[in-house]
């Protein structure tokens, strides 16, 4: 015979403000855990400008990952013990990726000589180099954007092939 959980009375549960505080704090803790994961795995990201030095041993990385998993399990259990459910992710990942690509595109655009003149006159030879850098980066960013939006021929072929398999 299974133990049936009985419904808590209002006096036995958190009020709406306390419940929101619990959920917001747990979400904050989870974001910090995500940041720790990012720090741990930064060395494998191939970042061009890494923020963190790779000074964590494989064993430490494994143990830290275990602690993160245990903490997340406790967060979920604590929510469930209060009769609360986890919220679904509100932001679609592809939309967030598209927004980030848009920001990258703007950052690349701002490298054009006409935007750099605010920092001083740009020599003609350097202006040509900057325009080349912007053209190369801009082309790659545009290709990346097309792929993410599903307008890349190869990506469309692969997605279609995957759907028919």
CA distance 42 to 44: 5
Residue 67 has pLDDT above 90, yes or no: yes
C-alpha dihedral, 93 to 60 to 70 to 72, nearest 10° = -30
In the structure, what pLDDT confidence band is assigned to residue 70 with cuts at 50, 70 and 90?
Answer: very high
> Tell me: the pLDDT tens digits for 78-93?
999 999 988 889 999 9
Q: Where are the domains of the chain?
A: 10-81, 93-164
CA 58 centroid distance within chain: 23
In the structure, what pLDDT confidence band is assigned to residue 1 with cuts at 50, 70 and 90?
Answer: very low
Altogether, the residues listed in the chain come to a count of 165
pTM: 0.74
């Amino acid at each position: 015979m299974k133990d049936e959980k009985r419904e808590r009375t209002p006096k036995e549960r958190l009020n709406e403000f306390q419940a929101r505080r619990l959920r917001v704090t747990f979400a904050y803790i989870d974001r910090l855990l995500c940041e720790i994961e990012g720090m741990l795995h930064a060395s494998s990201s191939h970042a061009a400008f890494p923020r963190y030095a790779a000074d964590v041993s494989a064993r430490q990385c494994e143990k830290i990952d275990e602690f993160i998993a245990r903490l997340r399990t406790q967060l979920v259990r604590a929510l469930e013990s209060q009769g609360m459910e986890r919220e679904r992710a509100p932001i679609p990942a592809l939309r967030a990726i598209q927004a980030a690509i848009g920001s990258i595109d703007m950052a690349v655009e701002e490298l054009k000589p006409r935007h750099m003149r605010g920092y001083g006159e740009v020599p003609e030879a350097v202006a040509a180099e900057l325009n080349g850098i912007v053209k190369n980066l801009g082309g790659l960013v545009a290709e990346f954007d097309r792929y993410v939006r599903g307008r890349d021929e190869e990506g469309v072929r692969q997605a279609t092939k995957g759907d028919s398999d």
